[in-house]
Amino acid sequence: MGAEEIQRVGVVGCGLMGSGIAEVCARAGRSVVLVEVDARALARGRSRIEASLRRAASAGKLSEDECGETLARIELGTDIGALGDRQLVVEAVVEAGPEKVRVFEALDKVVEAHDALLTSNTSSIPIVKLATATQRPEQVVGLHFFNPVPVMPLVEVVASLLSSEESVGRAEGFAVDALGKSAIRSKDRAGFVVNALLIPYLLSAIRMVESGFASPRDIDAGMVEGCAHPMGPLALADLIGLDTTAAVANSLYEEFKEPLYAPPPLLARMVDAGLLGRKAGRGFYDYTDGGEVEG
């Protein structure tokens, strides 16, 4: 089954990443079943997709008809059993190992096609840990998208020690040929390629704030104006979500035990306080009135 033969896609989780993945698959003409834990979470996911499609239409990237057709291809529900006929499923739930393992145990029971691909959007959890929760570990592959999914062109394709080359090739082919993404391959190590490089950079910026070395706004201005980065590290951490940043950092530190991966105390305190970044309205910056939180 090649990329063009994958017509039925499932997505588990409709947060920022899951809703974006569902949208790009539907925009590529695929039938999508999007599953969440409850109706409220589904409503938020649908609202995210609708808002994203409106932005695409206003930018001239989609017509009104194409927006409607995209939405019509997405079926939302709370029953993971609805994924039974899917040919490829992407898990995009919270970045926590036990929760992801439970999802893969459930998918292994309900997805019927013997050659279906079971993939994870994890940014740091070992793919082999998810693969061994199933009876088909050779068909489990990492497909790590980047936020915002409809805009960012990259997908990391991650093979575990148990993934078959056929499965990895099919997953990569789907990302490139069906979704029009660029793909890079990574070994199954915490952080893969991008986050293994990115997270130490973000943590260094947070340590600068914590030590009083410079303000969030000046740190970000330094990297945007001095290094031509499109966004400063603290604004980027807010966009990613400080809880997600902390989770990835913890996974990296657990695997490598290197100090550069250790989350600073300020990051942990902000997560405990619910200052999670853009999605919470406050992080290093206050998105309700343009102010900033300096810790």
pLDDT at 124: 86
Cβ atoms of 92 and 15 within 8 Å: the answer is yes
CA distances, 14 to each of 44, 63, 233, 240 (Å): 8, 24, 25, 15
User: CA nearest 23: which of 60, 93, 71, 69?
Assistant: 71
Structural domains in the chain, CATH included, are 3-187 (3.40.50.720), 195-280 (1.10.1040.10)
What gap in Å lies between CA 74 and CA 77, rounded to an integer?
10
DSSP-assigned beta bridge partners for residue 184:
156
Task: Measure CA 84 to chain center.
Answer: 23
Q: Check residue 178 and give left, alpha or beta (phi > 0: left; psi -120 to 50: alpha).
A: alpha
Active site residues: 123, 144, 156, 195
Q: Which residues of the chain are modeled with pLDDT < 70?
A: 1-4, 289-295
pLDDT at 295: 47
Q: Each residue of 235-260: pLDDT tens digit?
A: 999 999 999 999 999 999 999 999 99
What gap in Å lies between CA 256 and CA 75, rounded to an integer?
41
Rg (alpha carbons) of the chain, rounded to whole number: 19
In eight-state DSSP terms, residue 150 is: T
Q: Each residue of 66-107: pLDDT tens digit?
A: 999 999 999 999 999 999 999 999 999 998 899 999 999 999
